[in-house]
Amino acid sequence: MTKLDQIRAAESRLLLPTYDRNPILFTGGQGVHIVDEQGERYLDLLSGIGVNALGYNHPAIVDTIARQSRALIHTSNLYFHEGQAELALRLTDLTGLDRAFFANSGTEAWECALKLARAHAGIKRSQGGNIGTKFLALEQSFHGRTFGAMSTTYKDKYREPFAPVVPGVEFVRFNDVADLRAKFSTEVCAILVEAIQGEGGVRPLTPEFFEEARALASSTGALLIADEIQCGMGRTGKWCAYQHYGIQPDITTLAKPLAGGIPMGAVLCTEEVSHSFHPGMHGTTFGGGPLACAVAIAVIDCIEKEGLLAQATEVGNYFQDQLRVLAMRHESIVDVRGRGLMIAAELDSADLAKLAVAEMLKRHILINCTSETVLRFLPPFILERAHVDTAIAALNEIFTEYTAAHAAAPSVGGHHRG
Ligand SMILES: *Cc1c(COP(=O)(O)O)cnc(C)c1O
């Protein structure tokens, strides 16, 4: 039995059956490559689902963890440490918002945002305002797995087994301005969006829809909440994806790449919204600990020093261009979209999408498939053009082989277009 087989067997006995893992045992990494137990390198175009922004074994992260862990790992939020104010200063600067709260994950940051919105509406009501408790979320949204976050997440499969979910959530058709207008009322305390939906298939909001959401929320004192957990922190070439639209939300949430692989989430909000909380209303034991704060500061410094926003834009544009060239040769690629290093290639078949992910893995390239038919690329921000070329060559080979196989056996599958 190999080590991987032993671990697999043990996990299948000992863990809750929540994951369907790929059969690889990773033990290390360097730069854009992650390395398995046999020393085989894989080009990582997924970066731990958008987390490892600086790749693997980056000295800025490794050195900061070493230094900070010798000094102080945890204090609780009963006392001061040096990191939170410093990190809040950076994050308020780069989000355009005024105050921060630190959590340990995306879903936790989102819970805080939902609680802020309900508390904010409650205060308005107590002052005689006409504002309800309803959340408007979008179809295909993904906001996390805890109860509140799950309740604002669209797909039935995430919510239904756990019913009843948190009440007071209504879903609006994605990018449908008329549906948004029809469902918006003074009952709504917040509109919940991702500027670019991640799990939902790398789908950007239209400017019209985003602007209407902003205008409607402002018209009643409801809040616009932008979930930037996947698209934020520079992945799209700007610190926040909403900055591409020139729209400012009242609350935003950050997580995945925030501390370069150390678990951390953050909520940023306006000064006005921040007064919805007072001491004791919300908190966390671990959130905003000295280690996570120090690493997040190091990640931000590194993104700035190494010019990674510009690199994400440049390499991301190149990646999309190359995918479009590929789409001209392979008609099973029906759409290429995204921004910076948040990129998707939508295929005309779920089977092909699955196959492509598996074939890429065989060629030692990590990608994944979301929304059944969408190949998703969330590479580290340090990605270079040469890595893109490697991925495109592999994809070209895979699609070429697939087409040849289907041309040889046209009765199989049977849904060839054109
Ligand atoms: C991943 C994700 C979350 C949840 O983050 P976790 O850290 O997994 O809890 C929430 N919103 C978006 C947009 C995400 O991509």
Residue 312 belongs to a domain: yes
Cβ of 134 less than 6 Å from ligand 1: no
Q: What angle do CA 362, 363, 369 make, to 5 degrees?
A: 70
Written as six digits, the tokens of 6 are 């032993």
244 has pLDDT over 60? yes
Task: Check if 107 has its Cβ closer than 6 Å to any atom of ligand 1.
Answer: yes
Does residue 259 register a pLDDT over 50?
Answer: yes
Query: Is this prediction's pTM over 0.75?
Result: yes
Verify whether ligand 1 is closer than 6 Å to residue 106 (CB atom): yes
Chain length of the chain: 418
> Are 342 and 384 part of one and the same domain?
yes
Q: Indicate if 205 and 167 belong to the same structural domain.
A: yes
Which residue has a Cα nearest atom 15 of ligand 1?
230
Q: Does residue 82 lie in a domain region?
A: yes
What contacts 170, CB < 8 A, 6 or more positions away?
Answer: 134, 135, 136, 137, 183
Same domain for 38 and 77: no
Q: Is 266 in the pocket of ligand 1 (CB under 6 A)?
A: no
Q: Of 255, 271, 305, which marks where a domain is finished?
A: 305
| Judgement on whether residues 278 and 316 belong to the same structural domain of the protein | no
Structure confidence at residue 410 (pLDDT): 56
pLDDT over 90 at 267, yes or no: yes
Quick one: which atom of ligand 1 is closest to the CA of 228? 13
- The reply to whether 51 and 119 lie within a common domain is no
Cα 228 to middle of ligand 1, angstroms: 9
pLDDT given for residue 406 in this prediction? 87
Query: Ligand 1: distance of its center to the CA of 117 in Å?
Result: 18
Does one domain contain both 398 and 337?
Answer: yes
Average pLDDT, the chain: 96
Question: Which atom of ligand 1 lies nearest, measured to the CA of 144?
Answer: 4
Residues 98, 54 within the same domain: no
Residues 233 and 180 in one domain: yes
Mutate which of 104, 140, 229, 376 for ligand 1? The one with the most ligand atoms within 8 Å of its CB, which is: 229
User: Quick one: 161 and 291 in the same domain?
Assistant: yes
Question: What CA–CA distance (Å, rounded) separates 102 from 292?
Answer: 10
User: Is residue 417 one of the residues assigned to a domain?
Assistant: no
